[in-house]
Structure 1
Amino acid sequence: MTELSVRPVTEGTSVADFAGELYTEAFDRRMQVPLKSLFKVSALHKADFMAVFDDDIFIGFYYVYLHGDSAFLYYLAVTESMRCRGYGTEILDLIKDTYCPERRIVLCTEAPLVDDKLVSSRYRRLGFYSRNGFIDTLYKFESVGIQYEVLYWGSNWEPENIQEILRSFRRSCGYRR
C-alpha cells in the first residue's frame, strides 16, 4: 500500500459517481440522506465529503460533519473489493490526523440486537472501531427504526450531545426538525 490521498467529492464529477455508487450500495436506504443534501452541506463548508484513493484506485469515502469542537463521522465506506486489507484503519488514521486534536471524532453505528440477522457484522463493526481507539459511550438511541450506539475518539465527550449534532445536520440539509 502507498500513502492514501483524498479528493473532495463534488457534484457532477467522476469522483462523485464513484462515491455515489458506493454510498447506495453500502448503506441501508433508511440511513441515506439524499446525495444532493450531502453535496449542499459540503459546499457550505459545514462538512467534508472526501473520496479516498490508493494511487489512482478508488478505495472509499468518508463524510464528516463539523459541529463546534466535534467532527461527526456520518459515513465511512470502503469498496467491497478493498475490504479486509487495512484500508478502513488507514482512513480512520487519516481522519484522526485531519481533525484532532482540535476536534474529537464522534460516530454512530448500528447497535447489534439479538434478533437481528446482521448481528455478527454489527459486532465486527463495533470491534473495528474499538480496535482503532474509539470509546463506546454506552449511549443508545433510535432513528428511522434503527438502534444506534455512539462512540468517540479524542477528548472526553457527553454522548447526549449527539442529538444536537444530528439536529444541526438536519437543519443544514434543509429539514425543519
Structure 2
Amino acid sequence: MSAFPASERFSMPSLLTMALRRSVKFHAIYDNDVFCGLTYYVEGKDTVYLTYLAVNKQLRGQGYGSKILTLLENRFPDKQIIIDIEPVVKSAKNYEQRVSRLRFYERNGFHRTNQMLKDSDGEFEALTTGKKFNKLGFIRDLKKMSFGFYQFKVEK
C-alpha cells in the first residue's frame, strides 16, 4: 500500500477480479521465507504490461526490485515489458522520487517511449524494454486486463 498513492491503485476486489483472467498474474515474491514484494502483470501476445512492482518497504534498496525485473525478463525473453510511471516534471511535489524511479527503471533496461497513458487519475509515462514501443500491444493488454471497462488513451 505504501508503494503507490491511493489514486494510482486499483481496489483489491478489482485486482482479484482481473486476476481471474488467465493472462493476468498476481504474484507474491519470496526470498526463502521472507516476503520481498509483489508483481501484477498481464501477458499479451508480444508484450507484458507490469501494472505493479512493489518491494517490501523494509527491503527496498537491497536489489530486490532489480532481481524481480530480471526474473520477468528471463521468463519473457521474446516479449517487451511495459510499465508506466508518474511523469518526471519539476513542479511535482515528489519530483526527486520520480527521478529516482525513472533512473531505477533505466538502469534495469527500460527506456522512455514519449507516450503517455492518460486516464481519469492523470497521466503516466510509458516505459519499455523493447526497441520500439508496441503501443497496440499495450492497449490490448490494458483492455484485456480490465475486461474492457478501463477508460484510457495512449498518446504523445
Q: Return the TM-score normalized by structure 1.
A: 0.77
SS at match of 1:39: helix
Task: Look up the match of 1:42.
Answer: 19
Task: Look up the match of 1:87.
Answer: 64
One of 84, 91, 95 as aligned partner of 1:115: 91
- 1:17-166 pair list within 5 angstroms: 24-101=1-78, 103-159=79-135, 161-166=137-142
- Structure 1 runs not aligned, ≥5 long: 1-23
Indicate if the aligned counterparts of 2:45 and 2:137 stay in contact, CA closer than 8 A.
no
Q: Return the TM-score normalized by structure 2.
A: 0.86
Indicate if the aligned counterparts of 1:59 and 1:79 stay in contact, CA closer than 8 A.
yes
Provide the alpha-carbon RMSD of the alignment: 1.9
Following TM superposition, where does structure 1 have runs of at least 4 consecutive aligned residues deviating by more than 4 angstroms?
none
Report deviation, 1:84.
0.5
Report deviation, 1:81.
0.7
Indicate if the aligned counterparts of 1:100 and 1:154 stay in contact, CA closer than 8 A.
no
Task: Look up the match of 1:6.
Answer: none
Report deviation, 1:155.
4.9
Structure with higher RCO (Cα < 8 A, 6+ apart): 2
- Structure 2 runs not aligned, ≥5 long: 152-156
SS at match of 1:137: strand
User: Percent of aligned positions with the same letter in both sequences?
Assistant: 27
Per-residue CA distance 1:16-48 (angstroms, 9 max, x = gap): xxxxxxxx2221111111212222222221211
Q: What is the rounded CA distance, in whole Å, between the counterparts of 1:163 and 1:113 in structure 2? A: 24
Are 2:153 and 1:171 aligned?
A: no
Count of residue pairs brought into register by the alignment: 151
Indicate if the aligned counterparts of 1:112 and 1:118 stay in contact, CA closer than 8 A.
no
Q: What is the rounded CA distance, in whole Å, between the counterparts of 2:13 and 2:35 in structure 1? A: 21
Structure whose residues are more often helix by fraction: 1
Q: What is the rounded CA distance, in whole Å, between the counterparts of 2:8 and 2:107 in structure 1? A: 24
Q: What is the rounded CA distance, in whole Å, between the counterparts of 1:75 and 1:115 in structure 2? A: 25
